[in-house]
Amino acid sequence: MQIRSSFILFAFPLLLLCSAAVTSAASIRRPGSIGFQDASEPFNKRIGPEDLREKPEEVLQHLLGISTQRHQNIREMMKAIKDGGADDPDAQKLFKLLKEDHEVTFQQMMAILHEIDATTLRLRV
C-alpha cells in the first residue's frame, strides 16, 4: 500500500484543523445550568483566585448569581416536565434527578448566603 503525496497534502491540514477545533471546543466555558445556555451576567464574568483574596464578598455574590440562575433553570425544567405529562418512566427518572439537583443547588445557595453574612461581618470588624 503506497500513500500518495497528494493524500498527505490534503490530510495533514485537515487533521491540524480538526485538532484546533477540538482544542478550542474543549476550552469553552460552560455555565453551571443544566440544559440551558445562558448569556446572563454571572456566567460571562471571569473570577480568579486573586479576586477571592482581594474581594471575597464579590466572589461570593458571583457564585450566588450562578447558583440562583441554575436553581431557576431547574425549576423551569421541572415545571415543563410536569406540564408535558410525567407519566413516561424516563420523564419520572429525569424529574427525580432534577429534584435532587434542585435540593443540592438550594443547599449551595444557603451555604453561600451564610458565607456572605460571615464575610460581611469580618470586613466590618
pLDDT at residue 15 is higher than 70: no
Position 12 scores a pLDDT of: 52
- Is 19 a domain residue? no
Question: In this structure, is residue 78 part of a structural domain?
Answer: yes
- pLDDT tens profile 78-124: 888 888 776 777 778 888 888 888 888 888 888 888 888 887 666 56
pLDDT of residue 33: 41
Residue-level length of the chain: 125
Number of Cβ within a 10 Å radius of residue 73: 20
Write out the H or E segment, with its range, that includes residue 69. Answer: helix 56-83
Q: Give this prediction's pTM.
A: 0.48
The pLDDT confidence band at residue 26, using thresholds 50, 70 and 90, is: very low
Owning domain of residue 85: 31-124
The verdict on residue 93 lying in a domain is yes
Contact 61, 116 (CB under 8 A): yes
- Structural domains of the chain, count: 1
Contact at 8 Å (CB) between 123 and 57? yes
Residue 4 lies inside a defined structural domain of this protein = no
| Set of cell numbers at residue 29 | 466555558
Q: What amino acid occupies position 22?
A: V
As a whole number of angstroms, the distance between CA 108 and CA 68 comes to 10
More confident residue, 55 or 2: 55
The tens digit of pLDDT for each residue in 51-91 reads 666 677 777 788 888 888 888 888 888 888 888 776 777 77
